[in-house]
Amino acid sequence: MNRKITISPITRLEGHGKIDILLDDAGNVKDCYFQVVELRGFERFCQGRPVEELPRIMPKICGVCPGAHHMASSKAGDAVYGIEIPSAAKKLRQLFYNAHISHSHILHFFALAAPDFIPGPGADAAKRNILGLIDVVGKDTGLAVIKNRGYAQKIQEIICGHAIHPAASLPGGLSKPITEEERVEIEAMGESMVSFALTALEIFQDLVLANPEYKELIAGDTYYHETYYAGMVDENNKVNFYDGDVRVKSPGGEEFARFPAGEYLDHIGEHVEPWSYLKFPFLKAIGWKGMKGGGDSGVYRVNSLARLNVAEGMATPLAQKAYEEMFGFFNAKPVHNTLAFHWARLVENLFAAEEVLRLATDPEITSKEVRALPAQTPTEGVGAVEAARGTLYHHYTTDSAGMVTKVNLIVATAQNNAGMGMSVKKAAEKLIKNGEADHKLLNMVEMGFRAYDPCLACATHCLPGQTPLEVRIFKGGELYRRLTRNLD
Amino acid sequence: MLMKTQVLGLGSAVLSDDSAGVKVVERLMECNPGPDVILTMGGTGGLALVDMLEDCDRLIVVDAVVSGAEPGCIHHMGVEDLESSMPFHCVSSHGPGLLEILRLREALLDAPLPKEIVILAIEAADTATLSENCTPRVEKAVASAVDQILAML
């Protein structure tokens, strides 16, 4: 009889999720399932609302990447009304959005990812957090983390009214411009952010890559999967978070598809498994062949590393140099090592900071022309951005009065659903032999799914806020071993 | 000298009972409790709370909780309860918890912990349905929490 191991990261911060690991008769890993609890009533919640209200409501659905939902929703609203927004509005949204990406990447790397390396996976659990990190990198660096993440938040607040509940972007552009005083403030913050982004890459170099154990962890086989990748690129095939075509590359690095976001339904299918509320998006042209990698499987991955893999480079000079260093280290492209998502995040953080600075000094950025009023009858539209976690699609249909009749979202975490399952399975395969597992499994499984920076899109924040993990090992249907963290 | 108090409401505004904490702060804003009271919508918080928290004598945090108690029950907790029931650990996919934020402020910004920290945790019945309304028992608890906080001020 098969045995079952359940890992339940049931924190309210990340939603309600658990990972089930099924063992075969010999006690070795047979399958892994990543499950989340479904949020109910989404369609009903959106239907009947004026479409211009969605950019204000959508960010509240996900407390993790409100800026991404604010932008994708605004762009879908633009498309519903067939509006070309003013040039200054587009630049302001891009400025807001690059600040959003920077804030998210700084948070993820320093508060969540880095403690796996600094102080390290073997450190006491009580030290594997941002305070343990500060013990190693020093108080000044800790202050720089807080300051620059705060700057990225502040820029979003200046442009869209509130960093967590942004409101100023709406169909047609923005409800307000920025003043010259605000521009000057943003420029100063942008300079600091660029300098800090370079420091962050140095920290990664000195404390992660210089350590042979961590280097092996990143470059080794544990989380290596050859898959397709998707991400948005500009007209020069450079990474772009706010706009562009979606480009898909094969595991071998060839361009497989390139399409405007509005055509996503032609390219992306959604596989449904009976055990999961979270769907499994896949490449329609290949088809769903199960949770496996390779050119014959429609599984693709999104997020930082995917964007760098599908692009031909970065549009800013310092980020381009960092991009070349990363691919030079692996001496391969695409890079298939999942923990390289962390490195790619830091390269992107530098790009986002350079973009903030560039846009803050654009002569048009303080223009008062930031809104085009709708003139067409609303119908249907798709808006997409690169959320920090990967491509985010909002697809709205309205009646002729602009009241929402249908909504479809494809979020980044769903697109990495299969990838996360594959990474967890591979880690589990290495660590569970003949039914034996220990606490190292918890760390390695966590590191696997944390690389994807998953967001279960429910944003519940009930106490307690920790991530309890539970591993239950069943033999013959009976519980004979239980490993827990933060549950007792 | 009057005691300076900050009331921090946490939760998602569109997820039924998870909005209890932010609803309490919304209602308090309508009551205009005076210049020595800082009312803060913490939303889903995380590291942003480092910037949102202010130096104050007393911090009152209102959040939803799922502990198995009767929905609508209001748990009064202190920071020592966070120590025991929410082990200090940063393993969330999304961000540090409240205790970690307070310690981070202490370590980096030399911001002393407030002399008094009170946590009102409202037992939720439903945190999975998208709605701007709480369930009836939690809605009553929101009104009760507002009264309790006003009595403390």
For residue A188, give the CATH number of its domain.
Answer: 1.10.645.10
Bridge partner residues of A6 (DSSP): A20, A472
pLDDT for the residue numbered B99? 77
Backbone angles phi, psi at B96, to 5 degrees: -70, 155
* Residue A456: count of CB within 10 angstroms of its CB: 26
DSSP-derived pairing of the beta strands A268-271 and A404-410: unpaired
User: How many structural domains are present in chain A?
Assistant: 3
Residues A427 and A443 in one domain: yes
Confidence of residue B64 (pLDDT cuts 50, 70, 90): confident
* Residue A192: count of CB within 10 angstroms of its CB: 15
Residues A319 and A230 in one domain: yes
Residues A88 and A210 in one domain: yes
Q: Does A488 touch chain B (CB under 8 A)?
A: no
Tell whether the model's pLDDT for residue A457 goes beyond 60.
Answer: no
Tell whether the model's pLDDT for residue A426 goes beyond 60.
Answer: yes
Which residue on chain A is closest to B20 by alpha carbon? A462
Confidence of residue A6 (pLDDT cuts 50, 70, 90): very low
pLDDT for the residue numbered A357? 98
Domains and CATH numbers, chain B: 5-152 (3.40.50.1450)
Which residue is it, tokens 């806020």?
Answer: A465
Give the Cα separation of A255 and A249 in Å (integer). 5
Confidence of residue A15 (pLDDT cuts 50, 70, 90): very low
Task: Please give the torsion angle defined by the CA atoms of residues B81, B83, B86 and B88, in that order, rounded to the nearest 10 degrees.
Answer: 160
Give the Cα separation of A37 and A39 in Å (integer). 7
Tell me which amino acid residue A393 is: Y
Residue A390 lies in a domain: no
B100-142: pLDDT as tens digits: 788 888 888 888 889 998 889 898 898 878 889 999 999 999 9
Nearest alpha carbon to residue A99 among A179, A173, A166, A172: A166
Residues A177 and A230 in one domain: no
This prediction has a pTM of 0.90
Altogether, the residues listed in chain A come to a count of 488
* Average pLDDT score over chain A: 86
A31-55: pLDDT as tens digits: 777 666 556 677 788 899 999 999 9
User: Which residues in chain B are closer than 8 Å to A150, comparing Cβ atoms?
Assistant: 50-51
CA distance B50 to chain A (A): 8
pLDDT for the residue numbered A60? 81
Residues A162 and A241 in one domain: no
Backbone angles phi, psi at A366, to 5 degrees: -100, 10
Residue A244 lies in a domain: yes
Q: Which residues contact A426 (CB under 8 A, 6 or more apart)?
A: A222, A223, A224, A225, A448
Say which of A126, A163, A485 has its CB closest to residue B48: A163
Backbone angles phi, psi at A389, to 5 degrees: -90, -5
Residues A258 and A185 in one domain: no
pLDDT for the residue numbered B69? 84
Residue A122, SS3 per DSSP: coil
Sign for the pseudo-dihedral over CA of A316, A321, A322, A327: positive
Residue A437 lies in a domain: yes
Query: Radius of gyration (Cα) for chain A, nearest Å?
Result: 22
Residues A269 and A296 in one domain: yes
Residues A264 and A299 in one domain: yes
- Asked if A312 and A238 count as a contact pair (C-beta separation under 8 A), the reply is yes
A308-341: pLDDT as tens digits: 999 999 999 999 999 999 999 999 999 999 999 9
Contact A462 B45 (CB under 8 A): no
Confidence of residue B51 (pLDDT cuts 50, 70, 90): confident
pLDDT for the residue numbered A421? 86
Residues A201 and A231 in one domain: no
Residues A18 and A130 in one domain: no
Q: Which residues contact A15 (CB under 8 A, 6 or more apart)?
A: A36, A37, A455, A456, A457, A458, A459, A460
Residues A124 and A165 in one domain: yes
Highest mean pLDDT: which of A19-28, A40-49, B58-67? B58-67
> What average pLDDT does this structure show over A249-267?
97
Residue A53 lies in a domain: no
User: Which residues in chain A are closer than 8 Å to B97, comparing Cβ atoms?
Assistant: 13, 464-466
Residue A448 lies in a domain: yes
> What average pLDDT does this structure show over B32-41?
93
Contact A13 B94 (CB under 8 A): yes
Q: Does A460 touch chain B (CB under 8 A)?
A: yes
In the β-sheet with A29-36, what is the strand arrangement from edge to edge? A29-36, A17-23, A3-7, A469-475, A478-485
- Tally the C-alpha atoms within 13 A of residue A259's C-alpha that lie toward its C-beta: 16
Give the Cα separation of A253 and A228 in Å (integer). 8
Which residue on chain A is closest to B50 by alpha carbon? A146
Residue A349 lies in a domain: no
ipTM score of the complex? 0.83
Give the Cα separation of A248 and A217 in Å (integer). 27
Which residue on chain B is closest to A116 by alpha carbon? B91
A331-336 long-range contacts (CB < 8 A, ≥24 apart) are A333/A253, A333/A309, A334/A229, A334/A249, A334/A251, A334/A253, A334/A309, A335/A305, A335/A308, A335/A309, A336/A224, A336/A225, A336/A226, A336/A227, A336/A251, A336/A293
Tell whether the model's pLDDT for residue A460 goes beyond 50.
Answer: no
Q: Which two tokens stand for residue A91?
A: 């630049």
A163-207: pLDDT as tens digits: 888 999 999 999 999 999 999 999 999 999 999 999 999 999 998
**Number of CB pairs, chain A paired with chain B, less than 8 A apart:** 184
Tell me which amino acid residue A50 is: P
Tell me which amino acid residue A396 is: Y
Q: How far is CA A191 from CA A94, A151, A155, B80, in A?
A: 17, 10, 13, 41
Give the Cα separation of A409 and A322 in Å (integer). 33
Domain residue limits at A18: 3-39+416-485
* For residue A55, cis peptide bond before it (omega within 30 degrees of 0): no
Residue A71 lies in a domain: no
Say which of A11, A40, A153 has its CB closest to residue B51: A153
Binding positions of A for Ni(2+)? 65, 455
Residues A142 and A212 in one domain: yes
A102-153: pLDDT as tens digits: 999 998 898 888 877 877 766 766 677 788 888 888 999 999 999 999 999 9
Residue A399 lies in a domain: no
